[in-house]
Structure 1
Amino acid sequence: MTQAPASSAEPTRTHRRKAQTRAALVRAAQSFLAQGQTNTPVLEITQAADVGIGSFYNHFASKDQLFEAAVEHVMDLLGAVLDELTTDVDDPAVAFATSFRLTGRFHRREPQLSKVILHSALDILGAQKGLAPRVRRDIQAGVESGRFTMTDVDVAVACAVGAATFLGQLIQAEPDRDDAEATDQATEALLRMLGVSASEARAICRSPLPELQTAGLRGAVDEVATNGDTAR
């Protein structure tokens, strides 16, 4: 059997090496964000990632761009998990409520990843990836199906994203608070705002939830997709 020339394997090795470097930088950034250390110099980030400072600029133009990527990555991972858990849910109201209720519980279950997301709370609403676009999609589906009577989707999304963000901060700030009960109360209020009757909103928010598996979120940063790689 003829072996392929060594050079044909080189792009694969280079691609893998770039992916590993980018993943290490994202992991380091998430660690600093979780600790609230946003003023950390680039040099310190690269030292924590165990990569050269030159490699940093092969992937990111600035520290802000790295932090944005670190936040987006966590939000995308959580969003993908929520999508999988609601893919077979036909009722838009139940799908929206399930995702919101699980997101609230996420903050207590994964406090470090939660802090990464909440670090950029003011930017979540306008994000093109992660949770906000999924909230918009679910609310839009509810409006189009007639399930929701509140037809101003922009206002509805602002209320839902704002509630999710400040609820997460409340859960982080008050570790003794019952996060599940607080989340279900907030979800019930949002459903009523969207046009679901009080009795049905309560029933939806008292229904069983699927198990939120978050272990994969903690490790998935090692598999950061290189589609967003900006290496030059």
Structure 2
Amino acid sequence: MTGAGEAKRDGESRIDRRRLRTRSALLGAGQKLFADRHIDGVTIDDIVEAADVAKGSFYNHFDGKESLADAIIELVQGDCEREVFAVNLDIEDPSVRVARAMAALIRYARQHPDRYQSMVNLAKRRADINAPINAGARRDIGAGIASGQFAGISVEMGVMVMLSMIAQAVDYISTTPNVRSHKAVAREMAFMLLRALGVNSETAGSVSEIAIADLFNTKG
């Protein structure tokens, strides 16, 4: 009985691993395809061909391409939230937190271009300031306003400015041949964000320089 039980568990384990590999392949294929095309221009056949899996296997994991898109958005948003949480651990200053959050997302987009771009293309909700992924930005900008560091802007507009600047920075990095230092781009975008939030030029310059110093390697 023991041998039979172990064999059964081994068989179930192999099935689970195979299911995970298939799901991972579908998610990876979806990220690449949705990064390049609108969801309406991608078919299930395109996805399973890119993933190198049988079409029937697709429906063991997803109801359709919309549910695959939702899974990709959830996956990438989770990644982004963890990135921002990690770089801001034990940091309390709102200006530094906002600058580091922006730089962390620019860095993530550079490291995972297909993954990030697929989320941008799919997540029309990204401009919704009440979306869960924007909770940290709302909190930090609100804290900056309450402390007097940020002025002349509401939480809502502050979040919108931050989202727009991140999107522009990522687009610049991804479409510009021989882009200059990613660190320099992140630093300048952080500076402009802080200025838009009402921080004076001298403070914005010093904070943006210090805030992202450890987030990019020397090669940029």
Q: Same fold (TM over 0.5)?
A: yes
Please tell me whether residue 203 in structure 1 is matched to residue 213 in structure 2. no
CA deviation after TM superposition for structure 1 residue 11, in Å: 6.1
RMSD, matched Cα: 3.0
Question: Cα distance 1:201–1:26, how it changes in 2: closer, same or farther (>3 A)?
Answer: same
CA deviation after TM superposition for structure 1 residue 182, in Å: 3.3
Given residue 20 of structure 1, which amino acid in structure 2 is its aligned partner?
Answer: R
Question: Cα distance 1:4–1:210, how it changes in 2: closer, same or farther (>3 A)?
Answer: farther
Question: Cα distance 1:15–1:211, how it changes in 2: closer, same or farther (>3 A)?
Answer: same
1:20, 1:171 → 2: CA distance? 31
Equivalent residues, number: 211
1:14, 1:20 → 2: CA distance? 10
Structure-1 residue corresponding to 2:117: 115
Q: Which has the higher contact order (CA 8 A, sep 6+)?
A: 1
Aligned with residue 133 of structure 1, among 127, 132, 135: 135
Is there any run of 5+ residues in structure 1 with no aligned partner, and where?
Answer: 214-232
Secondary structure of 1:90 counterpart: coil
Structure-2 residue corresponding to 1:41: 43
Structure-1 residue corresponding to 2:177: 175
Identity %: 27
CA deviation after TM superposition for structure 1 residue 150, in Å: 4.9
1:185, 1:26 → 2: CA distance? 34
Given residue 213 of structure 2, which amino acid in structure 1 is its aligned partner?
Answer: L
CA shift digits 1:24-83 (9 cap, x unpaired): 210111121233374232023123223332332232222122123224322321331231
Structure-2 residue corresponding to 1:89: 91
Aligned 8 A contact 2:83 2:104 in 1: no
The correspondence of residues 46-195 of structure 1 with structure 2, limited to 5 A, is 46-120=48-122, 122-126=124-128, 128=131, 130=133, 132-150=134-152, 152-178=154-180, 179-195=182-198
TM-score (norm 1): 0.74
Structure-2 residue corresponding to 1:221: none
Aligned 8 A contact 1:102 1:212 in 2: no
Structure-2 residue corresponding to 1:218: none
CA shift digits 1:81-134 (9 cap, x unpaired): 23112102121210110121232344444433343233236432238454x333
Aligned 8 A contact 2:34 2:122 in 1: no
